[in-house]
Structure 1
C-alpha cells in the first residue's frame, strides 16, 4: 500500500497571479526580453501540440509563444522568468500535517501534483509546515510528463515507489483529476466528500 497526496488545494493553498500571462511578461521584461505586444493573447493559446493527457512544461509553452513572434531568449532566461512569476506564498491546510503522518504509518507516501511550473512543487513544500522528508517521492506532471487523470500519471508515481498502481490510495480535492486513480484500480479519497481530518480514520479503514 502507498498513499499519494495532491498538493495544491489539498495539502497547501498558494496565492496565484491574477493574470499569469501578465506576471510572466513582467518577469521576462525584467530580464531584458523584448516581450511582443501579442504575448498575453499568445500565452492563452495552445502553442505545442502535445498528446492527450501530456503535460507541457510552462517554460516550453512560453518559449514557443515568444518564438512565434520572432523572439528567442535563452531557455534559462525563460525558465527563471516563469519560476519567478509563480513564486508563491504558501499556507498549509488544516489537517495536512496529521494526514501525511497517518499515511506514513501505512507505507510509502508521496506527492502527485498537476503542475507545469518547474520548482514550484518542491518550493511550496519547503514553505509549508509539512516536513518534506515525510515523502518518499515527489512527482509533478511537469516531471513525469502526464497530468492527472491520465493513468500514466498514477502509473509513474507507483513505478517510482516500486509498487503496483492498484495498491495506491490517492488523496485529492478535485474529482475531475484525482479520481482518475480509480481507473487503474487504486482508491481515491476526495476532499469534496471528506476533510483532511477524516483521512487518518479513512486510511485505517482501507488498510
Structure 2
C-alpha cells in the first residue's frame, strides 16, 4: 500500500496573489517585458489547445498570451515572472506532520499536487515543517503533464511509489480533484468530513481493496 497527499489546502496553506494576472504583469514589467494594455483579458483567454485533463504550465500560457498581443518575452522572462509572482508564505497545517508520519508506517508516501507553476511545490515544501525525505516521491501536474482528477497523475504517483494504483490511498481536501483517485481504482480519504487529525486512524483502518472515501 502507498499513500499520497495533496499539498495545498491539505498539508499546508500557502497564500496566492489576489489578482494573478496583475501579479504576473508586475513581474513581467520588472523584467522589461512590455505588458499589453488588455493584459487581464489576454491572461483570461485560452491560448494552448491541450487535451482534456492535461496541465498547461503557467509560463507557457503567459508566453502565448503575450504572443497573442505581439509581445515576445525573451531570456525566459515569462517563466521567471511567473515563479516570482507565485512566491508564497507557507504554514504547515495542524496535524499534517502526524498524518504523514502515520502514512509512512503503512508504506511509501508521495505528494500528488495540482500546480501549474514550476518550482512552487519545491519552494513550498522548503518553507514548510516537512523535510524532503519525508516523501518518497513528489508528483506535480506541471511535472507529469496531467491534473487531478485525470487518472494519469494517480497512475504516475503509484508507479513512483512502486505500487499498483489500486493499492494507492490518496488524502486530499477537494472531492472533485482528489476524489478522482477512485475512478482510477484507488482509495480516497477526503477532508470534506474528516479532520486531518483523524487521518492516522483512518489510514490504520485502510486496506488496499477498500474504496470508501469518508467513512
Q: TM range, normalised to the smaller chain? A: over 0.9
Gapped regions of structure 1 (runs ≥ 5): none
Query: Structure 1 length as normaliser, TM-score?
Result: 0.98
Report how far residue 161 of structure 1 moved.
Answer: 2.0
Pairs aligned (count): 207
Which secondary structure does the structure 2 equivalent of 1:26 belong to? helix
- Alignment correspondent of 1:167: 167
Tell me, in whole angstroms, the C-alpha distance in 1 between the residues paired with 2:13 and 2:75.
29
Query: Structure 2 length as normaliser, TM-score?
Result: 0.94
Report how far residue 75 of structure 1 moved.
Answer: 5.7
Which secondary structure does the structure 2 equivalent of 1:25 belong to? helix
CA 1:60 to 1:157, structure 2 compared with 1: closer, same or farther past 3 Å? same
Report how far residue 45 of structure 1 moved.
Answer: 1.2
- Structure 1 stretches of at least 4 aligned residues deviating more than 3 Å after TM superposition: none
Gapped regions of structure 2 (runs ≥ 5): 208-215
Larger helix fraction of residues: 1
Tell me, in whole angstroms, the C-alpha distance in 2 between the residues paired with 1:104 and 1:60.
36
Superposed CA offset, 1:144-187 (max 9, x none): 00000011110111122221011000000000000100012111
Which secondary structure does the structure 2 equivalent of 1:176 belong to? coil
Residues 1:4 and 2:23 are matched in the alignment: no
- The alignment's C-alpha RMSD in Å is 0.8
- Residue pairs, 1:57-76, within 5 angstroms: 57-74=57-74, 76=76
- Residue pairs, 1:96-107, within 5 angstroms: 96-107=96-107
- Alignment correspondent of 2:54: 54
Say if 1:55 and 1:146, in contact at 8 Å, map to a contact too.
Answer: yes
